[in-house]
Amino acid sequence: MHEDGFIGRIEWAVAGRALPGQQVSGDRGLVLDTGGGTVLFAVLDGLGHGAAAADAADRAARVLSENRAEPLDVLMVLCHRAMADTRGAAVSLALFDEGDRVRWLGVGNVESQVLTAGPAGLKVHATVLLTAGIVGYRLPANLQPQSVAVRPGDLLLMSTDGIVTESATRIDLSKSTADITAEMLTRHAKDTDDALVLAARHRGAGGAAG
Ligand SMILES: [Mn+2]
């Protein structure tokens, strides 16, 4: 699965595939236009794999789509309720706008990070603080979204645990997010799990990044 596009000046791409031998993936990547130049990105990893994992992730995806304008902590609770009779999922949410901050919130093992170009090359600027838990099964009591500064050209990278992200700082920022996600899926997906990676950045007033 490969999708990409623009919402305003925000360039995004998602690439994913099921565990080899499986028909459906339990990983989902959502790109939800919330209006006013703001995009809600979500990456979901239904527990385990196969149809039951996909069912959990689909329910969370639906509730996110229908309530996209709600605050991140509210969205997490809505996902929790929607997946109450499923096996649950890891959920990471990132609210990205054309301003200078990303707000994000993660429960379970979906990694989100912001990569920035520095004088010595690409570096990890920030990583979401993941709260332990399984949305739909055991939600942490304290859901506190965090906020991280971003600059035009910085890359938001979100991935399920089917992707090895140690090599993320070797990404070539001059490439499109479609190429970046496709290459990460090809080179860094584990053959023991579903895998999905989402990348986004806003390209600034000049329209060019990297
Ligand atoms: Mn997984």
What distance in angstroms lies between residue 117's CA and the mean position of ligand 1's atoms?
A: 29
pTM above 0.85, yes or no: yes
Distances (CA, A) of 120 to 88, 124, 169: 41, 12, 11
Phi/psi for 9 (5° steps) reads -95, 5
3-state secondary structure of 88: coil
- Condensed to tens digits (0 to 9), the pLDDT of residues 135-150 reads 999 999 889 999 999 9
Rounded to the nearest whole angstrom, what is the distance from the C-alpha of residue 64 to the centroid of ligand 1? Answer: 20
Residue 126's nearest CA partner among 117, 114, 134, 136 is 114
End-to-end CA distance of the chain: 25
DSSP-based three-state secondary structure for 34:
strand
- The residue ranges of DSSP E strands in 97-169, in sequence order, are 101-107, 111-118, 121-127, 130-131, 146-149, 155-159
Of the listed ranges 59-68, 111-120, 182-191, the one predicted with least confidence: 111-120
| Structure confidence by residue, pLDDT tens digits, 63-117 | 999 999 999 999 999 999 999 999 999 999 999 987 788 999 999 999 999 999 8
Residue 48 CA to ligand 1 center (angstroms) comes to 6
Residue 45 Cα to ligand 1 midpoint, Å, equals: 6
Helix (H, G, I), strand (E, B) or coil at 19: coil
Q: If you measure from the C-alpha of residue 21 to the centroid of ligand 1, how many angstroms do you get, rounded to a whole number?
A: 15
CB 22 within 8 A of CB 28: no
